[in-house]
Amino acid sequence: MISQTAEYALRAMVFLAIRESAATGQEIAKATQVPPGYLSKVMQQLAKGKLVKSQRGMGGGFVLAREPEKVSILDIVNAVDPIEKLLVCPLGVQGHGLNLCPLHKRISEATAQVENAFARSTLSELIVESKNPLCSVPLTPSNRA
């Protein structure tokens, strides 16, 4: 459904939202169980997508760039791994602009459904909704603010 990379990005964002203060890559990686080296790549993409702000040096790390209410799941997924849209017929056939054949219309509709669902969910919903945000990632002394 979504790529591994998108999963990682979502976990990291949820973690930052829970935490409400800067966290280093190491901390995020540990808490979210993402390979540290790879996480840094993902965080870079999130930074480029203006979803987090990064700060180097001591006391630095990553912080959300916006309120959790204003970040959708779709924003996050798109930042690292844009959902491809299928606006063009995968066969080489020209001439039916947006008039996709029934097969591709079905696929396109399913994609749109997912996009809408993801666009409607905000980061804030993901943390207030349960006592178990992020599958109970523990806020240990090392990753608590």
Partner DNA sequence: CAATAAATGGACCTTTATGTCTATAATAGT
Partner DNA sequence: ACTATTATAGACATAAAGGTCCATTTATTG
The binding site for DNA (CB under 7 A) comprises 3-5, 8, 23-26, 35-38, 40-41, 43-44, 47, 54-62, 81
Which listed range, 19-27, 40-48, 55-63, 84-92, lies at the site for its own copies (CB under 8 A)? 84-92
Alpha-carbon distance of 117 to 114, in angstroms, equals 5
Is 33 a binding residue for its own copies by CB under 8 A? The answer is yes
Neighbours of 93 (CB within 10 A): 9
Alpha-carbon distance of 93 to 68, in angstroms, equals 43
Closest CB to its own copies among residues 43, 137: 137
10 burial class (0-12, 13-18, 19+ CB within 10 angstroms)?
buried
121 touches, from its own copies, DNA, none (C-beta below 5 to 8 Å by class): its own copies
Is 79 a binding residue for its own copies by CB under 8 A? The answer is no
Query: Running DSSP on this structure, what letter comes out for residue 65?
Result: S
Alpha-carbon distance of 54 to 61, in angstroms, equals 6
- Site residues for its own copies per CB under 8 A: 1-2, 7, 10-11, 14, 32-33, 73, 83-84, 86, 89-93, 95-96, 99-104, 106-107, 109-111, 113-114, 117-118, 121, 125-127, 129-130, 132-137
